[in-house]
Amino acid sequence: MSYVPHTDADRRAMLSAIGVSSVEDLLRGIPEPLRLRRMLDLPPALAEPDLERHVDAISARVRTSPGLVSFLGAGCYDHFIPAAVDALANRAEFVTAYTPYQPEASPGILQAIFEYQTLVCLLTGMEVSNASLYDGATALAEAARLGLEATGRNRLLVSPLVHPDAREVLATALQPSGAGISLLSRKGSATVFEPASGEPLAAVLVQQPNFLGGVEDLAKASALARSLGALLVVSANPISLGLLRRPGDLGADVVVGEGQPLGIPPSYGGPGFGFFATRRAHVRRLPGRLVGETVDRRGDRAFVLTLQTREQHIRREKATSNICSNQALMALRGAVYLSLLGPSGLREVALECARKARFLADRISRLPGFSLPCEGPFFHEFAVRPPVPVERLLDRLLDEGFLGGVPLGRMFADLGDAFLVAVTERRTRADLERFLEALERCAR
Amino acid sequence: MSHNIPGDLRYTETHEWVRPVGDAWAVGITDHAVKSLTDITFLDLADAGKAVAVGDSFGEVESVKAVAALNAPVAGTITETNRALPGRLEDLAGDPYGKGWLVKIKPSNPAAAKGLLDAAAYLAIVEKAGH
Amino acid sequence: MKAPPPFGPIEPLLFERGASGRRAVRMGESDVPAVPAESLVPSFALAPSPPPLPELSEIEVVRHFTRLSRRNLSVDSAFYPLGSCTMKLNPKANERTATQPSFARAHPLQPARTVQGILEMLESLERFLAEITGLDAVTLEPAAGAHGEWTGLRTVFALYRERGESRSVVLVPDSAHGTNPSSCTICRFRAAPVRSRPNGRIDLDDLRARADSSVAALMVTNPNTLGLFESDIGSCAEILHKAGAQLYLDGANMNALAGIARPGDFGVDVMHLNLHKTFSTPHGGGGPGAGPVAVKSHLEPYLPRPRLLQGPAGLRWDWDRPRSIGKTRSFYGSFGVLVRAYAYIRTLGPDGLRGMAEDAILNANYLLSRVRKFLPVPHPDGCLHEFVATASDLKARTGVRALDVAKRLLDWGFHPPTIYFPLIVPEALMIEPTETETRETLDAFADALESIVEESARDPETLRLAPHLLSPSRPDEVKAAKDLKVTWGTDSCGPMKRVDNA
């Protein structure tokens, strides 16, 4: 089964029109020693009903929400997704379309991306946004690159509470260039914004809320960046922006983040999308694609991919990044989600997340032997220190039907005895009460 | 096909022209360069006071087709930049040898500017490129 | 008197719709104490009001995006012979597989024992891609072809760094795809050109002259961008390996090779694949895709981490990879895309994959045999899954360019082929039909193209203003770049001086 429509009669007619007797004749350009003369060693083809059975068997070996009640976060969150998001984003005209290089062939997609760009600006308080990047971590790396290029400096100052995986993506991306990374220090779940001594800095990078859920003081981060003549780059959780002040209003020069919480299910970590917004002064440094407004030959409003010469496919050796694609379909989901929620809906979701997290945190802190190791305000995540080893507790919680949290030992040596709990608006009061009972029971 | 290559100027292989003006040299890009770029959309020029070596970039010109670096034909200091030009790109396309001048460079050693082509030699390059 | 607009009303922007107080979705009553925002968030961080997003009802959102969706071509509605893009059918069985609730809801940080089904599927996909490419190890992490390309080069960079060899040059044929040189630059390699012969194949003499100890790799596409197999690829590999360098393959054109020849067998050390090309995952209007990287064993230690490891308790993610380049993105890859590719490979099986490539080659050659009767194809011999025609004669005779031909094809209901690429063919039309098209579609496309060629002699002006049956028509791209307007409700950004040290 290969989706090829041809019958043998079709093939014969086509070969005849070409003037050869078999497809083998068309492969003459491939030297014989390089030909694979056996079949590929792969499982035999599955007809559609067999594929379905096979996939059902795979699914049966996956235990997840809602069968398990999830308190997992750390960069990927389980939010409610209104039905209209799937209904609209799964339309085949969006799913199976190509990149809108021909503006007359895809005006709908181009307009949707223009709207997405504007929504990101409204969400973050910035002036221009691109058409999206692969994810929040690569967007952060691209923001760092913008900072290095705009200032001509070679060093970055990074909060240790930026997601450890995002920091690793950053280090991997910058390693060949030799740009240096210095870390700020932290106190509990907040970054300490104190000047570092040493080389001039290109940018200060901070995450809001940070990896431990803490709410950062972005005004302090901005003041630090200004005093160093550096750019301020903020990686922001988009749901939190329903409640927290926009980084653009607090002096950020670039705002990036992971868009998965906006209408995309956890999907085992991908695909999501990275958003990237900045000030007009840096518009020509935007990585990736950009949609602009113009008029056509009839004088009607039209949208096109613009500034493509900045992009890799025309600038070649002088490209600012090699990003060729955006996550169009994922960004579309984000745009539909934001359209459905509107300002009050986003505020409501953010508030509910914060309330539920506060409720759970307060109650956990009163469980015998449990404590919250990090002081300071948090949005919807917080660290928990149980009276028993973390791995054992989480194992037992799993047997009770809970994905209790993310162990912190891999990321922070001083929190090896703690785990990170995330609470979204999807967790009901009943979920929270049952979780508290289970925590107490499993910690005996 | 006729080309607009004034005889009194000197040229580089990368399609810049130079004209001595007092003790500085006015530098621009040729009519051939402008036509190859087609619709010019953006121009970025370095500030006056910047020191450049031969071949250093003193700016960038961008069109819907390409981005091209602007290369200094001689080592020296930029004494003047055509500030009005980025806002009047039609002058660059329409009058590349006159109103379309880009920067003025005071050479640190005028005699070291070898490799500048006369009009005939530049014409040969343009024709060889097949335009 | 007003008349209805001929192409339908211009669809307003989201921000031109809605009204204060409208809302599409509500979350329901809260079941925890209604603590005020002020006691949850410190005043330095609390926003007095949420971002000024548009306020829309569900019917406005539904109609808006439904109407936008209908103003697009898509593979499901039209033929897309885009060279180098492999716009084949996106099978619906793959969609159903990928949207299984358990796959959608799985969190990447769940304990391995809860997601063995997922881990086994990913491990199988790695093995399948290794078998198809003839290489030894595969990473599924990169999010797109360009991302995979960068990842592959990054492992080469790590190899030479560890060996203490200073190799800063990557050779790229002048017919290469645009991402190749920019991927080099951001890895701090210098891209240097290698000449192609007129038939698009690499000039071995030039390669021999340039392949010295400063060269880290040669990047090739095979078949090349003219659709021709690089028959000297074995010799290329020898020259490079003798100079201590790596052979990198851009796997964009694997649709012609699957089951027929394997890159690992012709000397490739590292390559990326495009799952949204060869392996049928949908393009989504510009993404998401996925760009897995396959390597020979000497590069395996440098692959991104974590990697899947079989242990006594099953598969798990192994972070203990000290020589790894690190991470290229968050989590493990574009899982939703990977699942679709997995389903595709399981559906085709070995026979189906080989048939896919053979029929892709058959379809391209059939279309070539028709098109070359009225449009010159400079390098027709040995075309595999795509070919390049040229409109330069047309332009010389009638003034009609490849761009105009492309725009007129839209009036016929076809997406145009890739135009102006590869750069070595002037007025290029790169045509790749793929294997999932019927003969009737290929004939209809050839007929349309032939009509356009005839039309160019009779009535070139009509072509220069095409398309006529669509709105918009010929948007002003120069104006878009000059008067840069990328955000609704703000003035344009240009012409702005780029600000350094801002």
Which residues of C sit within 8 Å Cβ distance of B? 477-478, 481-482, 494-495, 497-498
Model confidence pLDDT, tens digit, residues C272-309: 999 999 999 999 999 999 999 999 999 999 999 999 99
**Nearest chain A Cα to C140, which residue?**
A270
pLDDT band, residue B112 (cuts 50/70/90): low
More confident: C351 or C494: C351
Query: Is the pLDDT score of A15 beyond 90?
Result: yes
pLDDT (0 to 100) of residue A321: 64
Tens digit of pLDDT for each residue in B80-99?
A: 999 999 989 999 999 999 99
Given a cut of 80, is residue C117 above it in pLDDT? yes
Contact A318 B69 (CB under 8 A): yes
Dist. CA A301–CA A271, nearest whole Å: 32
At residue C496, the pLDDT reads: 44
DSSP 8-state assignment for residue B42: E
C-alpha to C-alpha distance for C190 and C160, rounded to whole angstroms: 15
How far is residue A34's CA from residue C235's CA, in Å, rounded to a whole number? Answer: 12
pLDDT, residue A310, reads 65
Contact state of C482 with B44 under an 8 Å Cβ cutoff:
no
How close C475 comes to chain B (CA, Å)?
A: 13
- Give residue-wise pLDDT tens across range A86-135: 999 999 999 999 999 999 999 999 999 999 999 999 999 999 999 999 99
Separation CA C435–CA C384 (nearest Å): 12
Residue A417 pLDDT > 90, yes or no?
Answer: yes
Within 69-88 of B, beta carbons closer than 8 Å to A belong to 69
Query: What average pLDDT is seen over chain A?
Result: 94
> Could you state, in order of their start, the residue ranges of all structural domains in chain B?
10-128
Answer CATH for C94-347 from 3.30.70.380, 3.40.640.10, 3.40.50.20, 3.40.50.261: 3.40.640.10
Q: CATH number of B10-128: 2.40.50.100, 3.40.50.12780, 3.40.30.160, 1.10.8.590? A: 2.40.50.100
Mean pLDDT throughout C73-79?
A: 97
pLDDT of residue B114: 63
| Chain A residues with beta carbon closer than 8 angstroms to that of B67 | 309-310, 314-315, 318
Contact (CB<8Å) B67/A284: no
Question: Which pLDDT does position C183 carry in this prediction?
Answer: 79
Amino acid at B8: D
- What is the count of residue pairs from A and B with beta carbons less than 8 Å apart? 17
Cβ atoms within 10 A of the Cβ of C297, count? 10
Could you tell me the pLDDT band of residue A313, with boundaries at 50, 70 and 90?
very low
pLDDT of residue B54: 85
Residues 6+ apart with CB under 8 A from C475: A103, A104, A294, A295, A296, A302, A303, A304
- Say if the Cβ atoms of C494 and B41 lie within 8 Å: yes
CATH architecture of C358-480: Alpha-Beta Complex (3.90)
SS3 of C14, please?
helix
Q: What percent of chain A has pLDDT over 70?
A: 96
Record the tokens describing residue C95, joined without a space: 């969609």
What pLDDT does B81 receive?
Answer: 95
| Distance (Å, whole) CA A252 – CA A219 | 9
Comparison of pLDDT for C92 and C178, the residue scoring more? C92
Would residue A438 be called left, alpha or beta, if left means φ above 0 and alpha means ψ between -120 and 50 degrees? alpha
What's the mean per-residue pLDDT of chain C? 94
Looking at residue B14, its pLDDT comes to: 86
Q: How far apart are CA A430 and CA A360, in angstroms?
A: 11
pLDDT in tens, A130-149: 999 999 999 999 999 999 98
pLDDT (tens digit per residue) in C225-248: 899 999 999 999 999 999 999 999
Q: What is the mean predicted confidence (pLDDT) over C189-197? A: 87
Q: In what order do the strands lie in the sheet with B57-63?
A: B40-45, B57-63, B67-71
| Rounded mean pLDDT, C168-191 | 78
Which range among A88-97, B102-111, C92-101, C431-440 shows the weakest confidence by mean pLDDT? B102-111
Q: Sort out which chain A residues have CB atoms less than 8 A from B64's CB and list them.
A: 308-309
- Over residues C465-485, the pLDDT tens digits come to 999 999 999 999 999 998 899
Subunits with 3+ Cβ pairs within 8 Å of C are A, B
Helix (H) or strand (E) holding A327: none
Give pTM, 2 decimals. Answer: 0.94
**Mean of all residue pLDDT scores within chain B:** 87
User: What is the model's pLDDT at position C72?
Assistant: 95
Taking 80 as the threshold, does the pLDDT of residue A1 lie above it?
no
Q: How far is C33 from chain A (nearest CA, A)?
A: 7
pLDDT reported for residue A324: 63
Residue scoring higher pLDDT (B129 or A117): A117
Name the pLDDT band for C127 (thresholds 50, 70, 90).
Answer: very high
Q: Where are the domains of chain C?
A: 94-347, 358-480
For A437, other C-beta atoms within 10 Å of its C-beta total: 12
Which residues are bridge partners to C90 per DSSP?
A: none
Instruction: Give the residue from B40, B42, B43, B85 with the most C CB atoms within 10 Å of its CB, the best one to mutate.
Output: B42
Which of A241-250, B72-81, C1-10, C306-315 has the lowest average pLDDT? C1-10
Question: pLDDT per residue over A242-298, tens digit each?
Answer: 999 999 999 999 999 999 999 999 999 999 999 999 999 999 889 999 999 999 999
Q: What is the complex's ipTM, to 2 decimals?
A: 0.97
